[in-house]
Homo-oligomer: A and B are copies of this chain.
Amino acid sequence: MPKYVYDFTEGNKDLRDLLGGKGANLAEMTNLGLPVPPGFTITAEACRRYLEDGGLPDGLQDEVDAHLAALETGMGKRLGAADDPLLVSVRSGAKYSMPGMMETVLNIGLNDESVQGLAKQAGDERFAWDSFRRLIQMFGKTVLDIDGELFENAIDEAKRSKGVDSDLDLEAADFQRLVDTYKGIVREHTGSDFPSDPRTQMRLAVEAVFSSWDAPRAIIYRRQERIPADLGTAVNIVAMVFGNLGMESGTGVAFTRDPGTGQRGVYGDYLQNAQGEDVVAGIRNTVPLQDLEGIDSESYRELLEIMKTLENHYRDLCDIEFTIERGKLWMLQTRVGKRTAAAAFRIATQLVDQGLIDLDEAVSRVTGDQLAQLMFPRFDVGADLKRIAKGMNASPGAAVGKAVFSSERAKELADQGEAVILVRRETTPDDLVGMIAAQGVLTSRGGKTSHAAVVARGMGKTCVCGAEELEVDGQERRFTGPGGVVVEEGDVLSIDGSTGEVYLGEVPVMASPVVEYFEGTGERGDELVEAVHRIMTHADGRRRLAVRANADNPEDAARARRFGAQGIGLCRTEHMFLGDRRQLVEDLILAGRGEERRAALDALEPLQKSDFVGLLAAMDGLPVTIRLIDPPLHEFLPDLTALSVKVALAGADASPRDRRLLEAVKRLHEENPMLGLRGVRLGLVIPGLFAMQVRAIAEAAAERTAAGGSPRAEIMIPLVSAVQELEGVRDEAERILAEAGVEAEIGTMIEVPRAALTAGQIAEAAAFFSFGTNDLTQMTWGFSRDDVEAAFFSRYLDLGIFGVSPFESIDRSGVGRLMSIAVAEGRATRPGIKLGICGEHGGDPDSVHFCHEIGLDYVSCSPFRVPVARLEAGRAALAEGSTDSR
């Protein structure tokens, strides 16, 4: 039989799997000799047994009894004894903190008898009865599942009948009457009396914590955060200490350094004569932690000493909850504390300088997401800001524009060159046009998985959602905010997607000093920039993955190179067909076969060649992977419906070109263009198209070589599903390259499930694979990003079907499995094959780790994400062999 219960003296911080985060850290502090109230932890293993068997496991009760007895002996009190009762709190504590689970029941052990004993011992009847009513209220709500409002209403009624406004005005007798009322509520809603037996209270509370592991909100949270469903939660039983036993008592929180900036110093808040929940409820104002020195200098000094001990011990910023009971300091909790992105980088390097951690550790302490946050432009917080609301930081960035309240208006103004912010109560798929047209999106309803949030993140568009203080009136085209502020259509707004802040008027946007550093234009010397520099340099030295960029023009390529890209992993040649070249592409499509088509291709070739010359120059000496044209041709033509309406309305006056275009649009129309005539299929069906592109590449490379450059072009064939397709195209390309005397590797995208499944065959004809995970995700899941992201992703996230959109982060079980198959079987056929990824996942931290794990050679992402990928590649290399890769 496993050991189910650990005294705080028995555990340590590395036993989080067993004792949960809270229990493990309480044990760690106990063993450090810090003043932790005595107690013990029931393991997560006991919870798992309970959930499987539907009852407490054999032997658990005996162990609990034994530990409780020891606790009673140590404290010199008995649980719920009438004269001088020991009270305990029951607190959940899973490995990862998790909303939706039951958290805490305080004051376990009180009943009609022991409440008298508590009053006597504390010398405070009001305190004792208030504690008792709190127990029944908390227990009723969380253990017995009674609607909490019933208890709140009873308090309100008590205040009303007494004619007072505040709880503070209620006296002992009032609370005593409330206890009776509360007991009635419990009886009415459960059919039983509130359990007066202290051990029964404790047992029921423990079972309630166990059961809350499977509460619906907890399940959905776990799905979203990808926390395994079978971990279970531990439960901590802790002797109660009271910060509300007079002005010599109090409670507070502290940080070992500033979580906002990383500065060392004394940060925290303190509240005299209060319990933790009162701080949260905001009944009175807290004072800065420094003020504790004047209130209780001994406890203050002791606390500072403890904070130093903890930071040296945990080698990181810690946050702390503590209580002072009549001059005696107690530590109730500690953990490695959350911090801002800037603080994370600063703290990591400060700890290196202090000799507490090494640079490897520093790299693993910061994340790509934090680096990305530092790279977004930000509002100048020094400016004269008029903040009018705060919502959720749904999609980062800083956006400024005129408020508009409908998609139509957003499009209209955007078409006139105006920057707009789309403001909606909530968005629907109908708002897509407006979201595309706007600089940013602001909603008053919905959380981080709402339609607006999901779609905006997908677009990389700034979004603040769920700003509930705002009343949005779409009909009247305005919203009202706190303090009666009214914003009409056309008024300028500034929204900060990284913080959720909404400002009235135009807030100046500041470039990120970290971006200036990467660009080489910023000043060095700033502590943050130095920290980023040291960490990035070290990550580069550790990583095994190369990082390339997706870029289609020399400017992007040059920027990517400044950002550290080691080549181009994806140049989309069709992007070179847009703008003023669209006419040439139309000519190509309208051309018949033979001579006419050849002429159209000939007109495009020199333009393509000059594109490639520029790109190869910008990446001279580094590989440049050029993908031949991928999208269906009709993407270069007008929309079928719009053109049909135009021609129908014009009737006999329709222009010949429009008529001819309409015929072509109809001929090329596809029901499912994503699954249509594109990629290698186009190359095989339209003779000369790929050949023109390959010739342009070959001639560009030859020109660069003649100019003394070192061009390293690679030719990539898209949408291959069978090796036979690749063979046909490759043979022709090799012929053209040989004619031009140019060498270039020829490889393929792996973006169709069948390509991954037959990668062993395809590798015979491919010098490299590049995973196109956008298409691969679409086909593996059978949904097109455009169509479904707006239509049902937010619902799927709400239902917990996705933890995260598979377009944001690689779906390891499905798409990832195909990638693993392709890597293994591609390498089996051609051991030296070069393997990379050029889907948008190439810049996603979790996906970069996955690419490292399956052994790719490089990732390629947008230029702006290159530093993120470099950092995460370094972190992935350092995480290798670590058991906990989350």
Contact = CB atoms under 8 A, between A and B. Distances in A.
Contacts of A795: 684-685
Contact of A674 (B675, B677, B818): B675
Nearest to A430: B667
A788 interface: yes
A258 B792 CA distance: 64
Interface in A674-695: 674-677, 681, 684-685
Contacts of A757: 780, 813-814, 817-818
A648 interface: yes
A667 B429 contact: yes
Given A649-B649, A721-B781, A813-B761, A673 B675 contact: no
Report the copy number of this chain in the oligomer: 2
Interface stretch (A170-178, A545-553, A639-647, A738-746): A639-647
Interface stretch (A71-79, A327-335, A796-804): A796-804
Interface stretch (A247-255, A508-516, A722-730): A722-730
A753 interface: yes
B675 A784 contact: yes
Contact of A676 (B673, B788, B813): B788
A758 to B, nearest CB: 5
A778 interface: yes
A882 to B, nearest CB: 26
Interface in A568-596: none
B685 A801 contact: no
Interface string A640-670: 1100110011000000000000000001001
Contacts of A644: 641, 644-645
Contacts of A799: 684, 724, 728
Contacts of A818: 753, 757
A753 B780 contact: yes
Interface in A20-77: none
A503 to B, nearest CB: 34
Contact of A811 (B649, B754, B784): B754
A779 B801 contact: no
Nearest to A679: B782
A788 B753 contact: no
B792 A779 contact: no
A483 to B, nearest CB: 35
A818 B725 CA distance: 21
Given A721-B814, A753-B818, A758-B814, A674 B676 contact: no
Interface of A: 223, 429-430, 640-641, 644-645, 648-649, 667, 670-677, 681, 684-685, 719, 721-722, 724-725, 728, 751-754, 757-758, 761, 775, 778-784, 786-788, 791-792, 795-796, 799-802, 811, 813-815, 817-818
Which 5 residue pairs of A and B lie closest in terms of their CB atoms, listed nearest first? A754-B814, A675-B784, A752-B782, A672-B784, A724-B801
Given A681-B791, A721-B783, A753-B781, 15 more contacts: A223-B724, A430-B667, A648-B648, A671-B786, A672-B787, A681-B788, A681-B792, A684-B796, A685-B791, A721-B814, A722-B801, A722-B814, A753-B780, A753-B818, A757-B813
28 contacts: A223-B724, A640-B641, A649-B649, A670-B787, A671-B672, A671-B674, A673-B787, A675-B675, A675-B778, A675-B784, A676-B791, A681-B788, A684-B799, A685-B792, A685-B795, A719-B782, A721-B780, A722-B802, A724-B799, A724-B800, A725-B801, A752-B780, A752-B781, A752-B782, A753-B818, A754-B814, A758-B813, A761-B813
